[in-house]
Amino acid sequence: MEKKKELADAKAVLFKRLYGVKPRTFENMLSILQREYDALHKKGGKPSKLPVKDKLYITLKYLREYRTMDSIAAEYGVCKGTVCLSIQWVEDTLAKDGTFSLPGKKVLKRTSASIQYIVVDVTESPINRPQKGQRAYYSEKKRHDPGHH
């Protein structure tokens, strides 16, 4: 019996190392997400490309390993947009539930003496780039052309 407990503990330690949460926390997150997913799709609708469990795994991998959405998308056989939407849905759903919410700035300011760590979210965010045909709309004032006055 001792050997089974040791094996279960070792698996729990490995799981925490891989995903950043204990298996029990993962199961709590999964039940919240599954309940919300079932409520959203109670009346039908297009099923998701990924099961709820995979969406949670993707989110935890993304946050834990600092992997790009492209590499996760390749691993799961979906597009980057699906990964992005999955991560956003998981984060928003868990935040809305409140069970796993972090304290806000006001709490941090009040308890600054007892703060040991501050986590900064540096996740990927899209950058606005110029459109391909933008040169046609480029201001003439900025371009020096000796033929124009």
Q: What is the pLDDT of residue 27?
A: 92
pLDDT in tens, 80-97: 999 999 999 999 999 888
Contact indicator for 15, 60 with CB cutoff of 8 Å:
no
> What gap in Å lies between CA 77 and CA 132, rounded to an integer?
29
Q: With contact defined as beta carbons under 8 Å apart, do 3 and 21 qualify?
A: no
The structure's pTM equals 0.65
Structure tokens at 5: 């407990």
Residue with more model confidence, 127 or 6 = 6
Radius of gyration of the chain (CA): 23
Cα distance between residue 23 and residue 16, in whole Å: 7
Q: Are 52 and 86 in contact, with CB atoms under 8 Å apart?
A: no
Top-ranked range on mean pLDDT: pick from 71-75, 98-102, 105-109, 112-116: 71-75
pLDDT at residue 135, rounded to an integer: 62
